[in-house]
Amino acid sequence: MELYQLRTFAAVAELGSLTQAAERLHLSQPAASAQIKLLEEEFGLALFERKPSGLTLTRAGTELLPGIQTLLASAGQVLTHASVSRAT
Amino acid sequence: MELYQLRTFAAVAELGSLTQAAERLHLSQPAASAQIKLLEEEFGLALFERKPSGLTLTRAGTELLPGIQTLLASAGQVLTHASVSRAT
DNA sequence: TCAAATTACGGTCGACGTAAGGATC
DNA sequence: GATCCTTACGTCGACCGTAATTTGA
């Protein structure tokens, strides 16, 4: 589990689409797909249900999302803090 | 900035030693050294002062530590939650 | 047929370990 | 000389993008 995978997970969860998430992250669609797949393998859980119109969160994915969003928010704060420290 | 780098940062900060941190993380000393160096480059900040007895946090490193610990705690919770979901 | 995701496949970049090189006590 | 940390260097794994395949409306 690494930050770049969690960023992809959050983007797909929000947008409901690998295509759109990959575009936002400046990533190819297969790369995004592989990241989700690896996360699911590590967790031993299906995070999304595959539907022709896109991906929707499973129950497990829904439950994990808030914690992951919290984690990513912390990461943003760390980067902001570093930027501030650098400026002083 | 990735989780494995932050784990190394936290271990070095706690132990005051690359050698001990590398051992705890089952990593070679040079690998741990490189991770710290890359973090410092990305942040544009010196995180540790190099002393013959080991590494001690700079002011910037000290300020960043709590946020990073919070982030790592969130990561632990996510993994725990995934483990629980898998069990049910 | 169209739009979405997955699988297949090389290439390339980087993280790692081993080994050698300072630096400080 | 001993104990740190850093630099050098070659290897190996994995992430990535392009292209082909699959699936469902």
Residues near A85 by beta carbon (within 8 Å), at least 6 away in sequence: B43, B45, B60, B63, B64
**Residue B50 bridge partners (DSSP):** B55
Q: How many CB pairs under 8 A join A and B?
A: 68
**SS3 of residue B54 by DSSP:** strand
Q: Measured between alpha carbons, how far is A82 from A29 in angstroms, rounded to an integer?
A: 31
Q: In this predicted model, what pLDDT tens digit does every residue of B66-87 receive, in sequence order?
A: 999 999 999 999 999 999 999 9
User: Which positions in chain B touch A40 (Cβ < 8 Å)?
Assistant: none
Q: In this predicted model, what pLDDT tens digit does every residue of A46-55 receive, in sequence order?
A: 999 998 888 9
CA-nearest of A78, A70, A84, A81 to B10 is A78
**SS3 of residue B55 by DSSP:** strand
The pLDDT mean for chain B works out to: 97
Give the tokens for residue A52: 């022709």
Q: Which residues of chain A have pLDDT under 50?
A: none
* Closest chain B CA to residue A74: B71
Residues above pLDDT 90, as percent of chain B: 97
**SS3 of residue B56 by DSSP:** strand
Protein chain B, residues 46-85, with a C-beta closer than 7 Å to any atom of nucleic acid strand C: 52
Binding-face residues of B in 8-27 toward A, CB within 8 A: none
Q: Measured between alpha carbons, how far is A24 from A8 in angstroms, rounded to an integer?
A: 9
Query: For residue B50, what pLDDT is reported?
Result: 94
What pTM did the predictor assign?
0.94
Binding-face residues of A in 46-85 toward B, CB within 8 A: 60, 63-64, 67-68, 70-71, 74-75, 77-79, 81-82, 85
When pLDDT is cut at 50, 70 and 90, the band that residue B63 belongs to is very high
Query: For residue B10, what pLDDT is reported?
Result: 98
**Residue A48 bridge partners (DSSP):** A57
User: Which positions in chain B touch A6 (Cβ < 8 Å)?
Assistant: 78
Query: For residue B65, what pLDDT is reported?
Result: 98
When pLDDT is cut at 50, 70 and 90, the band that residue B52 belongs to is confident
